[in-house]
């Protein structure tokens, strides 16, 4: 099984990247948080990898942070949550907030995540509530930096947020309106892709 990749970023998008290692390009599905952490195309990157093997497909899921990979592995251990949905969950909410919501039985927050209904949220809490103490200890010390405001209404972050929403299945007009709405209210997010994306996803919900 492939557990780690180190190579050159050939291409990247909010939900996947291609990493070249010794002449071979590996396509990996990624979360919004990992996309945010990726360097520019052409730069070297190291990713923790989960290899999902099925009868008809081998799929790679990449993570810039080992703790995010561990949380992903806990999620796919829950009945009804596969790798693709787990990546969507990790894109819809930060790892630390997700851990807090599960441990705090916050079903309202969990059901705001695309693909997570009430029954799935209840299952996640039931199966993981007492199994995340190690991750909670790590995330509690994390900090989030503030990004300087920018006068641009759209830019790289806005286009990436729009692309991410469309890739998650939202109609482009709906996604466009969500991004516009957020930037009109919070122009300071125009350079913060992760915050902009999550705020926009909350708007379309």
What phi and psi values does residue 171 have, to the nearest 5 degrees? -60, 145
Q: Which two tokens stand for residue 200?
A: 């926009």
Of residues 16 and 138, the one with the higher pLDDT is 16
**What is residue 139's predicted lDDT score, i.e. its pLDDT?**
62
156-204 classified as CATH 1.10.8: yes
Average model confidence (pLDDT) across the chain: 85
Distance CA(28)–CA(38), nearest Å, equals 12
How would residue 82 be classed by pLDDT, with cut points 50, 70 and 90?
very high
The residue ranges of every structural domain in the chain are 4-63, 66-139, 156-204
Higher pLDDT pick, 54 / 154: 54
Count Cα neighbours of 153 within 13 Å in the Cβ-side half-sphere: 8
CB atoms within 10 A of CB 129: 13
Whether 134 has a pLDDT exceeding 70, the answer reads: yes
Q: pLDDT digit string (tens) for 148-164? A: 333 334 567 787 787 78
24-33, 60-69, 133-142, 161-170: range with lowest mean pLDDT: 133-142
Looking at 3.50.50.100, 3.90.380.10, 1.20.120.80, 2.40.50.140, the CATH number of the domain 4-63 comes to 2.40.50.140
- Do the strands 58-63 and 16-21 form a parallel or antiparallel pair, or are they unpaired? unpaired
Q: Which positions ≥6 away from 130 have C-beta within 8 Å?
A: none
What is the per-residue burial (b if ≥16 Cβ within 10 Å, else e) of 40-50? Answer: eeeeebebbbb
Higher per-residue confidence, 4 vs 93 = 4
CATH class of domain segment(s) 66-139: mainly alpha
pLDDT of residue 140: 55
**Torsion angles phi and psi, residue 48, rounded to 5:** -80, 140
């Amino acid at each position: 099984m492939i557990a780690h990749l180190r190579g050159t970023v050939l291409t990247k998008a909010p939900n996947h990247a291609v990493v070249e290692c010794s002449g071979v390009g590996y396509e990996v599905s990624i979360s919004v948080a990992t996309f945010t952490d990726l360097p520019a195309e052409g730069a070297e990157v190291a990713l923790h990898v989960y290899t999902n093997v099925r009868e008809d497909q081998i799929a790679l899921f990449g993570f810039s942070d080992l703790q995010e990979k561990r949380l992903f592995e806990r999620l796919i251990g829950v009945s009804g949550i596969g790798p693709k949905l787990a990546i969507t969950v990790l894109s819809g909410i930060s790892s630390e907030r997700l851990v807090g919501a599960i441990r705090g039985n916050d079903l309202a927050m969990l059901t705001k995540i695309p693909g997570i209904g009430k029954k799935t949220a209840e299952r996640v809490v039931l199966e993981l509530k007492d199994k995340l103490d190690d991750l909670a200890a790590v995330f509690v010390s994390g900090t989030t930096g503030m990004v300087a405001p920018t006068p641009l209404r759209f830019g790289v972050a806005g286009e990436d947020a729009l692309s991410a929403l469309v890739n998650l299945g939202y109609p482009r007009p709906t996604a466009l309106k969500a991004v516009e709405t957020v930037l009109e209210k919070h122009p300071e997010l125009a350079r913060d892709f992760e915050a902009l994306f999550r705020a926009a996803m909350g708007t379309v919900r």
